[in-house]
Each structure stands twice: as C-alpha cells, then as structure tokens.
Amino acid sequence: MTANETILREIRAALEHEPRVRTHHGAIHIAISDGALTVEGEVENIAVKRLALEQARALSGTHSTIDRLRIAPGERKGDGAVRDALSRFLLTESVFLDYAIRARAKGELIVLRDPGAQAQGPITLEVQEGVVTLSGNVGSLSHRRLAGVLAWWTPGCRDVINELEVTPLESDHDDEILDALRLVLEKDPLVHADQIRADAHNGVVTLHGFLGTSEERKMAELDAWYLLGVRDVVNRIEVRQ
C-alpha cells in the first residue's frame, strides 16, 4: 500500500466515524495527486461540506486542497435564476446600498448599480453550474461574510467562492465572527435572533438559547456554518414550544 493510499484510508475512516458526515460518506470522493488533495461530490448541507473538508485537510498532509464538494440545493435552478435572485438580495440589502453591484454573465460585465464617485465596492457576482463566485472589495470582514451568506441563502446555490477583499485590511478573530453571526441571525427571517446567544473560540461557535421548532434550531446552526472562518458549530439551542 502506498503512502497516499494509507492517507486516503485514514481520511475515509475519519469521515465514517464523524456522525454528522457518516450518512454522506459514500457521496464524498477523495483523491491525492501531485501533492494536492481533491474532495468532490454532493452533500446535503454546508455543515457536512465544511466538516468533511476539515477532516480531509487535517489528515492529508498536503499543501493544497481542490474543493469540488457541492451542496444539493432544495430546488434546482438555472444559473440565470440564481444570478438574478442574488442580485436582488445584494441590491436591496441595506448594508450594501452605497456599494456598486455588478454581475458577470457569459463573459459580459453588467452594471446593476453604480452610486457614483462615492461608491464602495464594487461587488461582482458570477454563477456557473450553481456555484457563486463573489469578487471585488468590501469595507469590513462583516460585510464580506454577509455577502457570502446572502449567496448561500440564494435558492439554487450549490457552493460559494468568496474572493471579496477587505479594504482597509482587518485582523480576523473570534469577535469578528460573532459580530457577523449576530448580523446574519438578525437578518434571517426564519429564526428569532433575540432568543439566541453565541460564543466562539478558535473558530468553533457554540449556540445557546431557546427556539420554537427543531427546524428553526437547524436554520440557526446553518447560518453559523455559512460564515467564513467557522471551523465547527456546537448547537446547544433547546426547542421549547
């Protein structure tokens, strides 16, 4: 057995023993070639994707990871529909009202909003096979994370590549993650943000509080997973009707 085969066996064993990933284990395909780890397949949600990537990266010993792991959307939509829906999210989001918003479609750059000389951004979005790519500039880490979450919330989205740059540069830490999480939870119409408390340590977010349904509890957890920099989510929210 080669060294790569041994590593792949260890990764598969780790995925099999992670209860949040185990049921999707057969849908996740991993390979190592030329010092790069490739993870691909289609899984149920962002939590499975992030956990599988974290496990695979930690054990692979490789210097680069090719992420081809996609989320199975609740509803399949064409790229144009995904692009239009995300464009509406960005254009109507109060945080981004003074941002220039652009979309790229079939090689053409479309200006959706240009506030003029005082504009922030721009934020440029592109969708290919359900994968959203965000590029451009934003004014804070919270704005970068919020734009990514809006993309994840878009019906038909299968993955998000967030290449937005923060200008001026900011140092990232757990408090930044918590600030973005509070912002996202307050904007999510499906959860009662005032009933949720959170803390974070080294990228691990722990949720506390009380919500009315298990579905709302799950949505709050997924909102945390959508944030860049989150390595794991411990959901201690209780369901009380």
Domain locations in the chain? Answer: 3-71, 79-166, 174-239
Q: How confident is the model at residue 121 (pLDDT cuts 50, 70, 90)?
A: very high
Q: Please state the pTM of the whole predicted model.
A: 0.94
Pick the CATH number of 3-71 from 3.30.1340, 3.30.70, 1.10.760, 3.30.160: 3.30.1340
Q: Once rounded to an integer, what is the mean pLDDT over residues 132-138?
A: 98
List alpha helices for 93-213, DSSP H. 141-153, 174-187
- Segment 133-146 mean pLDDT: 97
For the chain, give the percent of residues with pLDDT over 70.
100
Give the integer Cα–Cα distance in Å for 148 and 164.
9
29-59 pLDDT, tens per residue? 999 998 899 999 999 999 999 999 999 999 9
CATH class, 174-239 region: alpha beta
Mean pLDDT in residue range 189-200:
97
| DSSP 8-state symbol, 133 | E
Average pLDDT of the residues in 180-187: 97
3-71 and 174-239 have identical folds: yes
Mean pLDDT across the chain, nearest whole number? 94
| pLDDT given at position 25 | 67
Pick from 93, 156, 97: nearest CA to 127: 156
- The predicted-structure confidence for 213-230, as pLDDT tens digits, reads as follows 999 999 999 999 999 999
Q: Is 141 exposed, middle or buried (0-12, 13-18, 19+ CB in 10 A)?
A: buried
State residue 130's pLDDT score.
Answer: 97
Q: Give the pLDDT band (50/70/90) at residue 231.
A: very high
What is the rounded average pLDDT of the residues 147-175?
A: 96
Residue 26 has pLDDT above 90, yes or no: no
**For residue range 107-116, what is the model confidence (pLDDT) as tens digits?**
899 999 999 8
Rounded Cα–Cα distance for residues 196 and 208 (Å): 6
Of 54, 53, 108, which Cα lies nearest the Cα of 80? 108
